[in-house]
Structure 1
Amino acid sequence: MKIDLHSHTLCSDGVLSPADLVARAVERDVNALAITDHDTVAGLAAAQQAIDELQLPLTLINGVEISTSWQQQEIHIVGLNINPHCPTLLSRLAIQQQRRFERAEEMARRLAKNQIPDVLPAVLALANGAAVTRTHFARHLVDIGQASSMNNVFKKYLGRGKIGYVPNNWVDFAEAIQWIQDANGVAVLAHPLKYKLNGKWLRRLVEQFAEAGGDAIEVISPQQTPVQKRELCALAQLHGLTASVGSDFHQVTTWNDLGKNLYLSDDVPTVWASWPQIPASPQV
């Protein structure tokens, strides 16, 4: 059983359509896939339609990834098994989308001030109605020759303290947990090692996430070391959180793909253990 509970489509900053993403998951022998686009559930219906029409052997888990603020850090919380038709959730995500647009306007203004004009129209065209993210800015800046790679864009323009960086204006992370749970979902702390926190601050993040009512933590992502996996499992156990796994897939790369290296031992309580659509057994 191969499970991947974190992935993106072109409805946010992924490169595949919902239909192509679920097809890729089947090619990769993934049995259950969560689509977790940034602050939107727009791709879920199309993904399920493709699964139904093509009779794909894949269980779709309705999800979303909400950008939040904690201690002046941008922290992402994945909502799994949500009701994507929940009116309250949809209205709250609409607020997030407006915040995204306002942040994009300010990023474009700062880049224009530094002799990189006309960024916003190009970024909006690139997003094509999807949730606007810094990844769209990075792709555009690479396209116009401002940097050789998306990594370099963040180092030169979009990272904290750089000319195009705009502090986030996202919802408080405790509030986002409530949004997810109000939509009958479970709240998962996404990719905790990507925030580059030291040990003290990582422990504080996990502790406060649990205190705020969070349910689970992504303990397995591609490229983690065995030591990192054990440490995250121990943190989850310490704070009564279940374990989730996710590739955070946006596009195929040499280091990442759907379902890649997402293995849990059979003694770790999983976030999906009580879900009827997924067997409780570990991935093999």
Structure 2
Amino acid sequence: MQIINQCQSKENQERMDRTQYNATVVGKIMVTPDLMIFRIHTDEAREEFEAGQNLLLGLYGFEKRSSNSEPELVPAEGEKLIRRPYSLASEKTETRQLEFYISQVKSGQLTSRLFNLNVGERLYVGTKITGIFRLDETPDGSDIVMVATGTGIAPYISFLRSHIVERPESKMVVIQGAAHRWDLGYYSELTFLEKSFANFFYVPTLTDADDRWDGYRYCIEELLRKDVLQNEFNISPDPERTHFFVSGQPEMVGHVSEWLSDFGYTRHHPDDPGELYIEEF
């Protein structure tokens, strides 16, 4: 009888905890087994945000993990709400239908649980949208180069959905690096935008492409050093004319930042404006 009561108590606790969830999964597109486009609908609208900002997602530790996850490096506490910030891919005017691009950390606590969610299931979403990785702080008329690996592409999708129509005078370039073609999340949308807007250029580059790939085959750092921006798009790494956003794997971010420093770029902060915006994933 005591064991039964303990089990009932645990179920009641978990049921009580789930009442704190405030959003529902409405879409889940598996780009690869470990990359997904994740769409949610919040119970209450959030305030309009600035493209490039992020929002907390959360699940309790008692939630099940995905079938292709690995043992947790640090076991989650069942009663603890695990929360992490994720960049929004949504247009800034979307205040309830929110989209994220998420990579599964197989031995992590939260993403392995997010990947186990299905449409109709519930989760926690923060109420405050934050972040300084924002396109709206760049000068009107400046050219914009957006460099990404992995899920670092997410804030640029928000940038483009929110601002591409408003900035016809700016050249806007997305350089997306990956190993394989199937790792290029949002490839179709970015290709469509390139065909639709004369001022937008999409530059995917693969380091392990197959024979069917007819695009660039460099790592991002090598592509930049080969002056592809200057030669193909007449865009110069000049702090007076061009602002750079760099988002993704820390090693890539470090290499590109070092390359840009040779041209006089400084890291941006709202209290100390610069021409280089950095977001590491």
Q: Give the TM-score normalised by the residue count of structure 1.
A: 0.30
Normalized per residue, which structure has more strand? 2
Normalized per residue, which structure has more helix? 1
Tell me which structure has the larger Cα radius of gyration: 2
Higher relative contact order (CA 8 A, sep 6+): 1
